[in-house]
Amino acid sequence: MNRAKSLPIVVSHSWCDLTEDRLTARNREVVTTETKNMAYLRLHSDPGFNFTLNRLAQTIPAEEVRTVAAEIDSLESWISKMLAAGERAEQEGRYAEAARDLQGAEFYMKQGHAGKHDVYQRSIELTDRALPQLAEARESVPYLAGNLPAIRLPAEGEERDIIVMHSGFDGLLEEMYPLLPAFTAAGYTVIAFEGPGQGGALRKDNLPMPYDWEKPVSAVLDHYKIDRCTLIGMSLGGYLAPRAAAFEARVARVVAWGAMFDFFESYKKRVGKLQAGLLGLLLDLGLTGTVNNILDKARKRDGIIDWAIGHGMHVSGTSSTAQFLQWVRSLNLRDCAHLIHQDVLLIMGTEDHLVPSNQLYVQAQAMVQARSVTSVMMSAKDESAEHCQVGNPGLAVTQIIDWLGSLARRDT
C-alpha cells in the first residue's frame, strides 16, 4: 500500500515533523492569519460542567456565565439556574443569550423530562428572533421518515468551493452558526446540517445516529445536487466525516475537527482502560446481561453517569446500556480508513479532556491511501488546547481556510 504523501504536524503556529521515518512532513504552505484570541476559562470545578459553560461563553458574556456557574452544584441546579438565566435574558431582550441558556438547560435534561421539548423549541424561536438571517436560511433535507435541518449560506463574491459541515454527538446547528461567516467571507458556500442523532433530527423526528454516516451525507449531497465538496465534521464528527468520505466519492476533502479514530477510546479515558477493557470483553463473550447490571448500578450511584448513558441511548436509538456500549464500539475507522483517498485535515488539542490526544496520530497513520494528511495539534498558548478548540475556535477556522487555500494553490 502507498502511504499518504504528506503528514505534517502543526503545533500552534509552529511546524514540526513526526519522528517516525515513514511519516514525512512535505506540504508546508499553510499561512496562519490573524485571529481574535479568546480564552478557555475556569468557570466550574467539574470538567464536564466547565466545558459546557465555556461552550455557552462563546455567545454569552463570560461574567454572566460565571455568575450562573457559581450557583451550580448538581444536574438539578444546572437546569434550574440555566432556565432562570434564560428567562432573565429574554425579558431583557438578549434573545441570542437566552436561546443559549435554554439550550444549556435542555442539554442536561434527561429523556422524558416534562419540559425538554418545549425548552428546545423555545430556544429555536429565540435564536430566530435574534438572528433573522439564520431563520431565513433554514431548510430541511428529507431523510428516511423525517428531515435533517440544514442552512445554506452562499459565498461572498466568487464561489471557490462548497463546504458541507456537521457536528458530532451533541452539537446543534445554532452552535455552529457563528463559525460559518468566516468561511463564506473567504469565498465558500456553506451547507451546515444536523444529521440523524443530532439537533432537530433527533428531537423532532427521533432519527437515531447510524455508524454509516455516508448515508445522511449522501442525502444532503443529493438534495443540493453537489458533485464535489469539502466535508467538515466536529467532535464525534471527526469519526463521522472520514467515515462518510471513505464511501462517498463526491467528498473531495475532509476535515476531522476533533481527531477520532475510535469512539470507544473516549470512554476508556473516562472510565479507565481496565474497566472499559472488562466491559468490552464481556460484550465479546455475549454477556450483555452482566454489562447491563454493571452499568445500571453505576447509573443508580451517579446522576451524571445516569444522564450520560441515557443521553447516549437516545442518540443511538438503543434500548439498553449494553446495546449503547456496543454501538459506541461500532464507531471506529478500523475497517475503512484505508478507503479514504481524499485530502485530509486532522485537528486536535493538546489538553482535550474528552478524547485521548493519541487519536490524532492513530488516525493519521491509518489513512494509508489518502492523497494527503495534514495534522494540526493546537496548544494552550493560543487558548485552543481543549476539545474542538472551545475557547478559541476561530483559530481552527483559520487553519481550515488556510489549508483549503494551500490545496487550491497546489492544484492550479
Residue 8 in this model has a pLDDT that exceeds 90? no
CA distances to 50, 94, 211, 386 from 64, in Å:
14, 12, 38, 21
**How far is Cα 108 from Cα 101, in angstroms, rounded to an integer?**
12
Q: How far apart are CA 79 and CA 288, in angstroms?
A: 33
pLDDT of residue 273: 87
Per-residue model confidence as pLDDT tens digits over 36-52: 347 999 999 999 999 99
Do 128 and 94 meet the contact criterion of CB atoms below 8 Å apart?
no
**Average pLDDT rounded to a whole number, residues 22-41:** 43
Report whether pLDDT(12) > 80.
no
pLDDT given at position 38: 73
Quickly state the pLDDT bin for 343 (edges 50, 70, 90): very high
What value does the mean pLDDT of the chain take? 91
149: pLDDT confidence band, cut at 50, 70 and 90? very high
Tens of pLDDT, residue by residue over 352-398, are: 999 999 999 999 999 999 999 999 999 999 999 999 999 999 999 99
Residue of 205, 238, 232, 203 lying closest to 217 (CA atoms): 232
What local confidence, expressed as pLDDT, does residue 117 receive?
96
Question: pLDDT digits over 194-243, tens only?
Answer: 999 999 999 999 999 999 999 999 999 999 999 999 999 999 999 999 99
271 — pLDDT class (breaks 50, 70, 90): confident
The DSSP-derived string for 289-329 is HHHHHHHHHHHHH-HHHHHHHHHHHHHHT-SSHHHHHHHHH
CA 105, 106, 110, 112 torsion-angle sign? positive
Ranges of each domain in the chain: 9-30+143-262+337-410, 47-130, 265-330
Residue 298 has φ and ψ, to the nearest 5°, of: -65, -35
Average pLDDT over residues 314-320: 97
What value does the mean pLDDT take over residues 311-339?
A: 97
User: Residue 30 has what pLDDT?
Assistant: 31
Strand order in the sheet with 138-143: 14-16, 9-11, 372-378, 343-349, 251-257, 229-234, 161-166, 188-193, 146-153, 138-143
Quick one: fold of 9-30+143-262+337-410? Rossmann fold (3.40.50)
| In the chain, % of residues over pLDDT 70 | 91
CB 4 within 8 A of CB 368: yes
Select from 357, 257, 343 the least CA-distant residue to 8. 343
Instruction: Write the CA distances from 411 to 279, 343, 405, 407, integer angstroms.
Output: 48, 12, 10, 6
**pLDDT reported for residue 284:** 96
Q: Is the pLDDT of residue 18 over 60?
A: no
The per-residue pLDDT for range 62-121, each reduced to its tens digit, is 999 999 999 999 999 999 999 999 999 999 999 999 999 999 999 999 988 999 999 999
Give the per-residue pLDDT at 16: 30
